Structure 1
Amino acid sequence: MAAGAPRVFVSHIAGVPVFDPNGDQVGRVRDLVAMLRVGRRPPRLLGLVVEVISRRRIFLPMTRVTGVESGQVITTGVLNVRRFEQRPTERLVLGELLDRRVRLVESGEEVTVLDVAVQQLPARRDWEIDKVFVRKGKGGALRRKGETLTVEWSAVTGFSLEEDGQGAESLLATFEQLRPADLANVLHHLSPKRRAEVAAALDDDRLADVLEELPDDDQVEILGKLKEERAADVLEAMDPDDAADLLSELPEEDKERLLTLMRPDDAADVRRLLSYEERTAGGLMTTEPIVLRPDATVADALARVRAADLSPALAAQVYVCRPPDETPTGKYLGTVHFQRLLRDPPFTLVSSIVDNDLPPLSPDTALPAVTSYLAAYNMVAAPVVDESGSLLGAVTVDDVLDHLLPDDWRETEFEESAHG
């Protein structure tokens, strides 16, 4: 941004691409780093936290920023790839300043910070946070009706104080377009206090998706700070295999208490998964594949495959079984792959196009054998069938990869993306 250019609100910077002088994208902005100053002097903006292509987080000093405009950040092209480590005197603008409750100096009225604006100082390379966009009122239902206004930084007080109940709505709005894995990365790098606040503000389905992408210790920490009834609701919203993995990390009494609070059908699926050895087909599988009866049509199958909440691996094929059509099902008849569904007329019965040449997996099949099966037959999912011929679930390639990688792979990945 050239000297004297208009100010930029930070919510408009979050997530925007960062380019080098040649026009090549080097990453995306994930936060801004500021240093609070004594008195009412505006904070100095030190730099940006940039997530580079490898999902590593680095620190980009503002002295290396040549432009912030049109939804992009331009750099000098020189990046230091050292990990970003926040210092005690630094504040993450998106992670720590938004949603904070502060007071107007003139009236003493409490307001909530919705956004802040940054501006480059005239004839200098320094940047400051000079404006604060706030809403009057204490939050909740009243917050939506409160008056909003933009004030000078010096017109508010309270940023230097620790809050017991900092909200998370503006932070969540900033990151609402992130994939669950990317939002999990954001949560991992917040303080435990702020992480708990953001988790509390997410709806059950979104939090379930994010938990599935977090390291085990983060999952346990977040779940432990939820009220038990809500923790059970979130477990119900998770894929049964991921819920089982998380519950297996808890003490036995906590696990049983949460299972008791869950809906009986959901709890039964999770209990069934917990009964298998972890590194077997039974321990890896999900109990919610797409199951169709023999008289279902290709049109029926395609309608099921279109469900937005299905992973690509689960949507790749459907499993044809005799009633009952919930796992454990009646007799397993075979699989129909998505490509075959696209080649046949909509009125075709799935029973007439099943592939029953490949033998299904048994629940006690060990992980190496499951891996070999998927690789040998170029499959992204495989049916798991018990001795009576009933379908128990399906093993997907993403769950196999989770168990082939080192136990701390998520933790390592997040640490490598935490640069600065």
Structure 2
Amino acid sequence: MTATGAIWRNWGRTEAVRPLRVERPASVAAVQRSVTAAAKSGLRVKAVGSGHSFTGIAVAPGVQLDLSALSGIVASDEARGRVTIAAGTHLHRLPALLRPFGLAMTNPGDIDRQTIAGATSTGTHGTGGSFGGLATQLTALTLVTGTGELLRISETENAELLPAARLGLGALGVIVDVTVQLEPAFALHAVERSEPVEAVLDGFLERTASEDHFEFYWFPHTGTALTKTSTRLPGDAHRAPIGAVRRWVDDELLANGLYRMMCNVGRAVPAVVPSFNRLTETITGDRDFTDVSTSVFTTNRSVRFREMEYGLPIAAVPDAVRAVQALIKRRGWRISFPIEVRSAAADELWMSTANGRQTGYIAVHRFFREDPGEYFRAVEDVMKTHDGRPHWAKMHDRDAESLRASYPHFDDFLAVRDRLDPERRFANAYLRQVLGD
């Protein structure tokens, strides 16, 4: 999150707001008081995490709650491998917090700057056809409802609310803690390769089904996909991590420093983008390494961008990627950022992009200094023809009417919202767009 004076801006620079007031509650009781006070003043109230959503899901024109003081481990149940984590805890802090318990998250995303409550509430996910998104790993949570009530939701308390609350879009209340099902710490053997993109598309369904974690990137204007295949190993497996020098060269100097320069030049002179992308294809080397899971899952990304991502029925992914490739070629666009393709298991969360179906994810990006509108709208049309569902934290133009047809439990979720926030204390413009009034 970046603040300039009283103006809050998100990381992707797609949203900005000047809240009427900012509050930083240091306890659960203080969160309750903030919500109650907002209600008495007739104000909307929103909790804000790290600002990594590209949509306006966390925009708070009224009262903005900064929950960074609610951080760390609240409780643990080591026998069941569960830990309760305060809502404002950033994901990048979890490896150190979980190390004393010998536990790790099953399948975190590839960015770890978000807060645990923000990531789960927006549907953040990693990759792996047998693994669900972060919200599927929640077994319980505590939230403050629109009336200021403290409500515990778990397998034994208000269990009927779990399918809605685990991925609640910030529409049901202010989450103050979550209980996460973890597993014994493990290692990953990662293999990164450059491969012909057509062969990767042809084999995508088989590799997604057979590998623990598979993903790939395709840079427009090239014929190569950059694949990453990660295999799970016991926590005491022999490690062969990337050396510090090579990691810095690959991940900081090239992937961030040089790439930032190329994006800025490409914005000024779009004609050079295809050549730059082919250069990226050339200088990206193959890597084979084994390390603790979080060091393999996560990636440092400091080049600012804007993103749209859609979840599709897994079988539709190869055709949808090919349609986007054809679209870019037909329109003559110069796209510097890659297309990212991942997968996730089906789940039962009502507002999950993977609800009821194994899902493949296609994400498109543009440098933050470029206008993504024309590109994103055209790609979105492709995704809609394949029954796509937009990621709640990524840019899209869908509204409640169109989303209702995509989510079998859409109205069930709205009924829970009516119960927990009847006065729409947690509403904002984005939630009105995607959920209605």
Fold-level similarity (TM above 0.5): no
- TM-score relative to the length of structure 1: 0.23
- TM-score relative to the length of structure 2: 0.23
Answer with 1 or 2: which has the greater Rg.
Answer: 1
Q: Which has the higher contact order (CA 8 A, sep 6+)?
A: 2
